[in-house]
Amino acid sequence: MFQRFSRLSNASLFVVFSIFCSTASAEKVIYDTDMGIDDWSAMLVVANHPEIELLGVTSNGVGEGHCAENMVNIPGLLALSNSADVPFACGDHFPMDGYFVFPAPWRKQADTLSGVPVPTTDRVPTELNSVDLIHQLLSEQDEQVVLLSAGSLTNIAQWLQKYPEDMPKVSRLVMMGGGFDAPGNIIVPGFTGDHPNKKAEWNIYVDAVAADIVFASSLPVEVVGLDLTNQVMVTPEYAKRFKSEVKTPAAEFWDKVLDDNDWFIESNEYYFWDVLAALVVVEPELCQGEMQSVWVEHNKVSSGDKWADTSIPNVTEEGIARSHYDPATFGITRIGGDNPAVKICRHTQPQRAFDALIEILNIQDSSNNKTI
């Protein structure tokens, strides 16, 4: 299955780029992911980047991937990187409140890694769930840690509620989610074409209650929302360039994913989302913006309509009756209110982001002998 990688895996590639010649010590990062398509390249970025020490990967079943598949796919993907052995965990299967979910076909694509194979490993998740793993990893560090969130904010909100004393250990929460001036991305023809919500972004929409808890906290948040990601559209020309520069198993994986999603790229609707947030972790200049207070709309209604997935248990993980919310407004991020100000990313450097993904995925540590 992985023969096509063998030619590359034996190559002694060790590439050092001038951009990485920094005297700064590695940034310690915990990556919280929902294992959608864009999360895969983001994970390869944080696992491969020479200026990042990846401490662990956490997920849950709230976003695109389901827990069972995530717990196989995360170590499989990590095996393609230079951080193959970091701990990983899953969390709750459902949002903190509400009944909203990603479309089933997207979840299937997430669970199957778009049909692109990764190595089979014998690695198992930690016995801790994601919330407790975040706490443990932070507790083990003397230095501050960056949290990178590329899915719903469920795990982060639950960690804030359970371990508020951990907050000083976090230097930044860089999150992909939300949007302010940009249109929302809930309405997708062929999947959710008649959805009434024109403003929300998916990561916030699937668990807006969790997102509101995070924005109400005093965490130093950097919001990589649709206003920023819309500036970095993946084009067929970029996919062609990426293919021409593949040198490692990680890059070869991502090239196959781009091949499988050529229809998506040709639709002019495929952007750097999670991967842009991953790049902001080590290249803060990719997020130019301003400080603002943010809150999240979540208006209760008496009953659900067709957008509510009533297969979700009607009692939350905390044992409270689950509420229905207005799908037309759920998850809309608004500027204003009294929450502590967060950094809203407004401008980025698309070419720098495009170049960085190619460079980082093509770094292969010569000491990392992969068995694929």
Residues contributing to the site for Ca ion (CB under 5 A): 34, 36, 39, 150-151, 274
> Residue 278 or residue 286: which is nearer to Ca ion going by CB?
278
- Asked if 160 and 211 touch (Cβ cutoff 8 Å), the reply is no
> Smallest gap, in angstroms, from Cβ of residue 238 to Ca ion?
20
Q: What is the CA radius of gyration of the chain?
A: 19
For Ca ion, which is the closer residue by CB, 68 or 315? Answer: 68
Smallest distance from the beta carbon of 35 to Ca ion, in angstroms?
7
Alpha helices by DSSP H, listed for the chain, are 3-9, 37-48, 67-78, 104-111, 130-139, 154-162, 202-205, 208-216, 226-229, 236-244, 249-260, 262-266, 274-282, 350-361
Nearer to Ca ion by Cβ, of 156 and 246: the residue is 156
Our CB check for Ca ion shows the closer of 36 and 178 to be: 36
Q: Which is nearer to Ca ion, 42 or 286 (CB)?
A: 42
* Min dist. Cβ of residue 39 to Ca ion (A): 4
**Smallest distance from Ca ion to CB 75, Å:** 18
At its nearest, how many Å lie between Ca ion and the CB of residue 138?
Answer: 22
- Alpha carbons 306 and 299: distance in angstroms, whole number: 17
Residue closer to Ca ion, measured from CB, 64 or 169 = 64
User: Look-up: residue for tokens 């919330």?
Assistant: 131
| CA dihedral over 341, 346, 347, 351, signed as positive or negative | positive
Nearest CA to 296 among 335, 267, 251?
335
Dist CA 325 CA 272 (whole Å): 29
In the complex, least distance from residue 265 CB atom to Ca ion, rounded to whole angstroms: 17
Placement of tokens 């659900």 in the chain: 304
